Structure 1
């Protein structure tokens, strides 16, 4: 973790780490019902908490084990040493998060988490973001309203209307605007077989022909829709993944079937508005929450998991006994548990070694005045580190001056999506920059975009900054490490992503790497996967309790005849009708 006052060279504040001698093995709490209903959930991020929630509501005796903190990458992180005069510490985070209107699973869970007098629980803590700003280096910025009147989507109207709307904000030639609208139509009118057989194995860059297009097209259409929107890379992300997101953001102008407005955020730090109420709800349902335990192995007996092994933070080994085991860990940690014995029963899990992770982490700048950049998100179009940000104070009910020393008036929370491209100040990628160099470099890239027509960001207003604590500088190697990498949906990766249940009868997988309808490493994907895993358990146990509700993404019904036509065209090796 890193916290600095302005850009001073004060030492890094580090949390104390407790250490102890290895003691006797401690058995896990068995739970009240030992009749085949004890479930161990290994991992306390969104996937693990969702699984625990759904299981507990159905009467299972659930224990959740988490190594670091409840909420995983979705949690907020108190800034160490920043509290003062009875106020809590400043809120930091792994990176800002937003809740698109097409998210259905996470909002459904939120409605079942009580919060104060909210009629719909935590869900009422979601607030709409009305605008987004695209900031360029030359000052020709644009602001896009995020609530748009709907239009008809007959093929010709779809192309022309979308092309015209793009023209109001972008500087691409009209031919490229219409070309991009056509590419969206190609995907939206593609049948499922083509999406999985052709577009899953094609990169987004190749699909949109970015190499043959203008700089503006490459920056906005190829790069922005991947690295800025979903932290992917246009040369390796699949058309199926990026196209599905485009279908939701751009192909559903009426927001039909959406849970709410297209862009929503929480009205307070994530722990306050969501994670803390969630853990309290789980405990009220009888869930046993065990924090500070890292799972290290699984014991396989007769095609079942007989027990799990773990180590507590003080070094004490622990044996976890249960009837069913949910592995709800990130892909890079889950695959460390796939021993030869596990793979002998579920050999398909070996494919997880082919899944790709990269970095997307955040830094927060605490300001002594409100930023006034835009009432929503900002995308820094030409930033080599693919930056996006949001000013949080105007969206929060608990204002920033109620935290820390009371002088902070705003928090500019910034996501860094490209850690491999050299920056403009030090000429190094973020992975090779010290924490202070990262803070200076990000500030330089933002001011280059925002201050070309006047001082929007002023260093005199900078109170302090806080870098995602998962980023750790290694002096010996001159590089950072990242405890929380992000799964990237590369072209062709669907075949390596597992189902939530297989031949290990009592092992269930939940996480954003599981095959899901949303097909993207997100909170929504993690929640959806946990529901699928719980439904698998209900089938295995012959439970008569209701199955977890699941949702599908919107597809314009007006294009159904074209998708049916595309089925026959794909079956006879013909291209999509509009793929010219």
Structure 2
């Protein structure tokens, strides 16, 4: 089929003229940022946003509010891994299809970029827009195999920020021991490891802890089974699909600093553990797309980016294959908002000749963290929040949705579903208990049976919590597809996994290619983790860099820092001198 050209702007528009037009664009943007009402069709420079996940939608939102003409190109579905996925052909009698998803949504209170965007998405009856669709959950359950040992844990720690280091160790250590039923010496030891990281300077965090695996840092192999399961493995594989043997201390320690080091939630947007009050599309993505359309954003679906053309250190065009065949996209600026494994396929020799640092992205590691939903004929009385199945080979976590949603599940499907147990599978590489195979080598039916069995083993001895008779149906993320000839699955939506030393392989949002900007959770961010928050933060960095290059007077996107206890800053200053002198952190007594 003959190639078409999708013209996103006239290439004759010179950059001087672009910059001169931004006095008006800045005024439009300021107005847009103050009010949720729709503005007139934007008239600023054209931007092609390549990818319609959280990063791409965020970039489009920020740019459209500032008067840019934005077109988003997405090959599959808007929202990316964050979207809901209706279960085909399950609706009946006027009810919508059952809601499926890539994995359940989790919005910790230390997320600040995502809630800021949500506040600018109108939602009927919500003074604070989509942000008001977040609600807190009161507990987390840590279930053990056999059902004879589980804990309900508060999701905050007692205040120790104003105490001496000794009091911090004793207070936090005692809380960890009591909450997790660990021996007192192990709770005290882990509290000291937290103190080591929290009092470390930036140079040590990058120069030492980025190069050190979490398991080594906490001495996991020398501790009890309980310690390894809860404080080495659970903090990595269960929460962020990482492996404690390869996840960096810098990444996991930063999460620990937010979850355990900020008891009064200083600077947080809200309670520590929050979820949406409905399916993701209904509660967030669909209103977001509607708002972007109001702002003049255009969407091209079924458009897969295949390449970039470089001319004079600029992207001259993007090669896109869409419903009408091969097309060439022209724009003044290009934002690549694709996942790492797809973005790095675009870095051809011409791109790398100008921005050679991008070649390091080939060393970034991706793995699988994918969801399965079990639809039940009766409510699942498991916990009023998330449940972690500590001994599950596949590192399972779940949440019961019906108790949290405004629109209840009997209003979906055939009306018989009373609850949805949404499960994240974080380990696809460890043999299961039922078939002795890794998840990647199980058929979809085997995956469902294996996950169901692993959960039942954790919840009770007699199987009354999850009964086979209550299972209405299940739904596995369609991004996972079975290859009969290879006897294994492939996954269209893998997840970036932070490994030791990976920070050096992650690019900034802008480099030497003048009109190319990167937005995605692989870009360097403060949160330093593959999350919706990281995707949103990276898009803001990309937009701010674009505004600088364009000479824009529009307001820059707000950026937020992760919490660090101000009381420990004098210790970090001392640590900077010690690190420069080649000395360990003053509290680092080793493992």
**Count of aligned positions:** 558
Q: Which residue of the partner structure matches residue 512 of structure 1?
A: 521
Is the contact between residue 28 and residue 318 of structure 1 (CA under 8 Å) also seen in structure 2?
Answer: no
Q: Which residue of the partner structure matches residue 245 of structure 2?
A: 235
Question: 1:12-31 CA deviation, whole Å, 9 max, x = no partner?
Answer: xxxxxxxxxx3551424549
Q: 2:318 aligns with which of 308, 329, 337?
A: 308
Q: 2:218 aligns with which of 208, 219, 227?
A: 208
Question: 1:87-138 CA deviation, whole Å, 9 max, x = no partner?
Answer: 0000000011200000000000000000012101000000001110000014
Q: 2:372 aligns with which of 355, 363, 375?
A: 363
Q: 2:202 aligns with which of 183, 189, 192?
A: 192
Give the Cα–Cα distance (whole angstroms) in 1 for the partners of residues 495 and 468 of structure 2. Answer: 31
- Give the superposition deviation at 1:454: 5.5
Matches within 5 A, 1:390-401: 390-401=399-410
Residue 92 of structure 2 aligns to a residue whose secondary structure is coil
**1:175–1:149 distance in 2 versus 1, CA, 3 Å:** closer
Give the Cα–Cα distance (whole angstroms) in 2 for the partners of residues 23 and 118 of structure 1. Answer: 49
- Give the superposition deviation at 1:146: 2.2
Give the Cα–Cα distance (whole angstroms) in 2 for the partners of residues 136 and 321 of structure 1. Answer: 56
Q: Which residue of the partner structure matches residue 461 of structure 1?
A: 470
Is the contact between residue 233 and residue 244 of structure 2 (CA under 8 Å) also seen in structure 1?
Answer: yes
Question: 1:244-290 CA deviation, whole Å, 9 max, x = no partner?
Answer: 00000000111111000000000000000000000000000000111
1:170 matched to 2:180? The reply is yes
Is the contact between residue 511 and residue 526 of structure 1 (CA under 8 Å) also seen in structure 2?
Answer: yes
Q: Which residue of the partner structure matches residue 78 of structure 2?
A: 70
Residue 326 of structure 1 aligns to a residue whose secondary structure is strand
1:336 matched to 2:315? The reply is no
Residue 395 of structure 1 aligns to a residue whose secondary structure is coil
Q: Which residue of the partner structure matches residue 99 of structure 1?
A: 107
Q: Which residue of the partner structure matches residue 402 of structure 1?
A: 411
Give the Cα–Cα distance (whole angstroms) in 2 for the partners of residues 415 and 238 of structure 1. Answer: 22
Is the contact between residue 147 and residue 261 of structure 1 (CA under 8 Å) also seen in structure 2?
Answer: no
Is the contact between residue 8 and residue 47 of structure 2 (CA under 8 Å) also seen in structure 1?
Answer: no
Residue 388 of structure 1 aligns to a residue whose secondary structure is strand
Q: Which residue of the partner structure matches residue 141 of structure 1?
A: 150
Q: Which residue of the partner structure matches residue 474 of structure 1?
A: 483
Give the Cα–Cα distance (whole angstroms) in 2 for the partners of residues 29 and 244 of structure 1. Answer: 41
List structure 1 segments (4+ residues) > 3 angstroms apart after TM superposition: 28-31, 33-36, 147-153
**Structure 2: which 5+ residue stretches go unaligned?**
19-44
Question: 1:375-420 CA deviation, whole Å, 9 max, x = no partner?
Answer: 0000000000000000000000000001000110100000000000
Root-mean-square deviation (CA, aligned residues, Å) is 1.4
Question: 1:304-323 CA deviation, whole Å, 9 max, x = no partner?
Answer: 000101001x4611110100
Q: Which residue of the partner structure matches residue 580 of structure 2?
A: 571
1:81 matched to 2:89? The reply is yes
Residue 317 of structure 1 aligns to a residue whose secondary structure is strand
Is the contact between residue 374 and residue 422 of structure 2 (CA under 8 Å) also seen in structure 1?
Answer: yes
Q: Which residue of the partner structure matches residue 47 of structure 2?
A: 39
Is the contact between residue 49 and residue 336 of structure 2 (CA under 8 Å) also seen in structure 1?
Answer: yes
Is the contact between residue 133 and residue 144 of structure 1 (CA under 8 Å) also seen in structure 2?
Answer: yes
Q: TM-score, normalised by structure 2?
A: 0.93
Which sits farther off after the overlay, 570-579 or 446-455?
A: 446-455
- Give the superposition deviation at 1:157: 1.9
Is the contact between residue 109 and residue 274 of structure 2 (CA under 8 Å) also seen in structure 1?
Answer: yes
Matches within 5 A, 1:489-500: 489-500=498-509
Q: Which residue of the partner structure matches residue 218 of structure 1?
A: 228
- Give the superposition deviation at 1:153: 4.4
Matches within 5 A, 1:259-408: 259-312=269-322, 314=323, 316-408=325-417
Is the contact between residue 52 and residue 77 of structure 2 (CA under 8 Å) also seen in structure 1?
Answer: yes
Is the contact between residue 130 and residue 147 of structure 1 (CA under 8 Å) also seen in structure 2?
Answer: no
- Give the superposition deviation at 1:440: 0.2
Matches within 5 A, 1:107-118: 107-118=115-126
**Structure 1: which 5+ residue stretches go unaligned?**
1-21
Give the Cα–Cα distance (whole angstroms) in 2 for the partners of residues 422 and 189 of structure 1. Answer: 39
Is the contact between residue 9 and residue 332 of structure 2 (CA under 8 Å) also seen in structure 1?
Answer: no
- Give the superposition deviation at 1:211: 1.0
Q: Which residue of the partner structure matches residue 254 of structure 2?
A: 244
